[in-house]
Structure 1
Amino acid sequence: MSDGGFQGVRRRVSKKPSPLGGFMLRRRHIGLIFIIALLSSACGGKSSTEADSVESPDGGGPDSGEPASVTYYADVQPVLQQNCVRCHQPGGLGAGDFTDPSVVSALAPAILGAIDSGRMPPPVSDPDCQDYVGSEHLRLPAASRDIIADWIDEGQALGDPSDAAPPVVVETELSDPDLVLTMPEPYAPTFADPANPGNEYRCFALDPGAASGRSITALAPIVDAASLVHHIVLFSVPTAELTAEERDPQGFDCIEAMGTFGQDGVIAAWAPGMLPLRIPDGMGLKIAAGRSLVMQVHYFANGIEGGTVYDQSSYAFELSDDASPAIVTTVGNTSFEIPAGAADHTDGGTVPNPDQDLRLVSIFPHMHELGVTYDMRIRHSDGSQTCLVQGSYDFNNQLTYQFPSPISFARGDELSFSCTWDNSGGDTPVRYGERTDEEMCYFFVTVGR
């Protein structure tokens, strides 16, 4: 394991002291919907007899003679409302309309196959490690998986529509923002990169306007073309260092934006289903004068021809003039080497807190395409531990995990972190780097006093 710490690795490293003092200045080495596989190709298909028997006349399973104990309206529909329709609905990013029982009935074996293969829902941090805001929508309990399996086994009875659960309303946008910043112009992704078919990473520079010199206390995107927008990462960067290309109203290609802007500029990462990010207890993320915001949008083709659908998404903010400072700081390791052919290589480190009591608000884990799992926890001075984030990693489903209440990180404690990668298909070692064919092990931690 490598020692961890904080260190600038961007080409645009801030020279300003940290508002949180010595802990953040001890820097050595550093120490993002769904990508939908075709549901029809998922395992778990039914025999032709089962497929032809969606519902018996009495509402029970095939040849049951009795009403089914598990029905769509009473049992399956609430599961889908809670965990799936954030993407799988008309105009959403996921394949199929899971609000339509006929669609769900036809796709049921494929849905179960996608769950059992681990592809759906996309992996997120385990709330049993540490709960986070919105976990009830992002993580599918094993009992919910079993409801779908039992429904299929019993013949997929629809049951009584009066048993249907009310729609689950997930407030993914701020209801009364102080400021909304919108992409300068509508943009139609072309998906022209042959190395990333069906995907495009596009960055748009935004004038912070009224946010300049103030603190962000809450933020959330307003997604325009939901069928295309896979995830969004928001950065703060020095305005003077934006090039002419980066100021283009049509944006610029930026698949490696995390390496370019990420070290001292990450504000938050969003994916469908996330709730607004709120900085609690009077804290805020200050947007210093002379900085711009850059919004990286990952577009996913979703069967749409490049250049035909336009997006003009926005980001909304609640602002404060007197919030106490919180910052997003980077914890990680840049000294690792993943051996060629290694299927399960782990590296990480520790970062001590020598001199002040802090509070952790949220964590955004980040690796590249070889990333498999991550873990971060506090090792307290009394020998106990507090798990912070832990789970399987998906480069295409990167999230900021916001804790319901800030977590104490006291003087004398240390952060312990690790990343695991799978390079079993590689014939050369892989080291730290900004390109997506290189790797990272970062945790962007929002921290305040």
Structure 2
Amino acid sequence: MPFALVAALAGCASPTPITWHGDVAPLVNTHCARCHSADGVAPAWITDPTQAVARADTLRAWVDSGAMSPPASDPACRDYVDAEHRWLDPADRQRIVDWVDQGALLGDPPAEPLAPPPPLATLASPDAWLSMPDPYTLETDDDDNKYMCFVLDVDTSEPFYITGLELTPGNPAIVHHAVLFQVEESDPAEDYDNPAGQQAFDCRAQTGAALWTLMHGWAPGTGATIFPEGTGLPVHADARLVLQVHYYEVPGADRTDRSRYAVTTASEVDRPIAVYIGGAFDFRIPPFVAEHTHHNRTRNVRDDVDILGVLPHMHRRGRAYAAEVERDSGETCLVEGQFDFDNQYTYLFKEPVPWNQGDTLHTTCVWDNSATDREVTYGEATDEEMCVFFSYVAPR
């Protein structure tokens, strides 16, 4: 056979097929198995080879739409704790899509089974457990969702600092996500038009919770948040800690939950963490606009601080966010990604970012208001919008 023909045939060799066992299973194991499990909030079939192949079109739709794995900040912007599990690289996302398009081949099982994903970070020796006052039995709204707030059982007669915290959902099958607030100078129940002193109440539609300071956000697959040594998040005297839980009803699942936070604490720390609320409050989102972008810049006119982490927050129209520190020497990216109201993460950076006097915090929010016939502005209620970046900052 002539050499030229051999070379041509070699160049036409078929690419190695993409298979479940060889390509897709390792990605699912790394990015999905923590939530998609028998005792998790997401369907477990995705980790079963036979079922995954049979329902490959569903898997493709989830991945191609960006719904799975849920949107997270791009670690190419700023590396953060657990990024290797939260972030599904676009090339890997496309590989799953291509696997389905090529026929969802099963392939040969590996000689050794895949190791389970590494466990989430935990608090080895909590100083206290902050629990819901009583077990709660889920009664969902018409759309199978429920937002409930619980005043946690915690003694705040004296101030203290939280140096680490970890949410343990009492019933992972129905706890979709949760947010922890510190409430001062008001009664949490009254803020939602309930009788004063109520310890558990519906809080889906916010009605005036302006004095609520967000402290932490949790979604399935989130481990413990452990602040750098010598730092801590202050809990003020006589404040109330309120846990807002988004429940989602799963047919056949137990409906009772009593979630709780494990915390490590200190009476004093060298560098108290402040929750800096950055972002925009003066935006106006026009009606029937599918992509409205708003930028805000805030100059640091006070002391030099380190930004330890960020939790971006918008409401249902939120689609994308970004934040960076601008200085004379250039820009430093903090967070950047697509926004999902039902998956709001606290991004704790592996290395703090300086925000010095004279530096500018540049934030960007993008909303989709295409389905609304009115202008939308800033507000606490869920039919209004926000562009807030809750940032953990510590003095230098």
| Contact in 2 for aligned 1:211/1:287 (Cα 8 Å) | no
| Post-superposition offset of 1:115 | 0.9
Contact 1:186 1:310 in 2 (8 A): yes
| Aligned counterparts, 1:195-344, within 5 A | 197-209=143-155, 212-238=158-184, 241-243=187-189, 245=195, 247-249=197-199, 251-256=200-205, 260=209, 265-303=213-251, 309-323=255-269, 324-344=271-291
Q: Which runs of 5+ in 2 are unaligned?
A: 1-13
| Distance in structure 1 (CA, Å) of the matches to 2:278 and 2:83 | 23
Separation in structure 2 between the aligned mates of residue 399 and residue 123 of structure 1, nearest angstrom:
10
Instruction: Tell me the number of residue pairs that the alignment of Structure 1 and Structure 2 aligns.
Output: 376
Matching of residue 143 in structure 1 with residue 84 in structure 2: no
- What's the counterpart of residue 394 of structure 2? 448
Question: Which residue does 1:100 correspond to in 2?
Answer: 48
What is aligned with 2:3? none
* Farther off after superposition, 309-318 or 163-172: 163-172
| Change over 3 Å in CA distance of 1:280–1:112 after alignment to 2 | same
Residue of structure 1 in register with 2:304 after alignment: 357
* 8 Å CA contact 1:173, 1:276 repeated in 2: yes
User: Structure 1 350/433 Cα, relative in aligned 2: closer, same or farther at 3 Å?
Assistant: same
8 Å contact from structure 1 (residues 83, 138) kept in 2: yes
Change beyond 3 A, Cα 1:385–1:103: same
Tell me the equivalent position of 2:136.
187
Task: Show CA shifts across 1:65-119 (max 9, x none).
Answer: x9x7544334322111100112211121112433322222212232122111222
Residues 90, 176 of structure 1: CA spacing in aligned structure 2 closer, same or farther, 3 A cutoff? Answer: same
Structure-2 separation of matches of 1:92 and 1:199:
17
Whole-Å separation in 1 of the counterparts to 2:42 and 2:158 = 36
User: Deviation at 1:264?
Assistant: 5.3
Q: Which residue of 2 aligns with 1:402?
A: 348
How far does the alpha carbon of each residue in 1:416-449 deviate from its partner, in whole angstroms, 9 at most, with x for none?
Answer: 1121111111111111111111111111111011
- Structure 1 equivalent of residue 9 of structure 2: none
SS where residue 209 of structure 2 aligns?
Answer: helix
Q: Considering only aligned residues, what root-mean-square deviation do their CA atoms show, in Å? A: 2.4
Map residues 127-166 of structure 1 onto 2, 5 A cutoff.
Answer: 127-152=75-100, 153=102, 155-166=104-115
Q: Which residue of 2 aligns with 1:59?
A: none
Partners in 1 of 2:92 and 2:225 — Cα distance? Answer: 27
Partner of 1:422: 368
SS of residue in 2 equivalent to 1:144:
helix
Which of residues 117, 120, 123 in structure 2 aligns to 1:171?
120
The letter for the 2-side match of 1:269 is G
What's the offset of the Cα at 1:236?
1.1
Taking the aligned partners of 1:274 and 1:403, their CA distance within structure 2 comes to 14
Secondary structure at 1:260 match in 2: coil
Q: Following TM superposition, by how much is the alpha carbon of 1:163 offset from its aligned partner in structure 2, in angstroms?
A: 3.6
Match of 1:97, SS state, is helix
TM-score with structure 2 length normalisation? 0.88
Task: Judge which range, 357-366 or 207-216, deviates more.
Answer: 207-216
Given candidates 51, 67, 86, the residue that maps to 1:119 is 67
List runs of 5+ in structure 1 lacking aligned partners: 1-65
What percent identity do the matched residue pairs reach? 37
The answer on whether the counterparts of 2:219 and 2:344 sit within 8 Å (CA) in structure 1 is: yes
In the alignment, structure 1 residue 437 sits paired with structure 2 residue 383: yes
8 Å Cα contact 1:204/1:246 also seen in 2: no
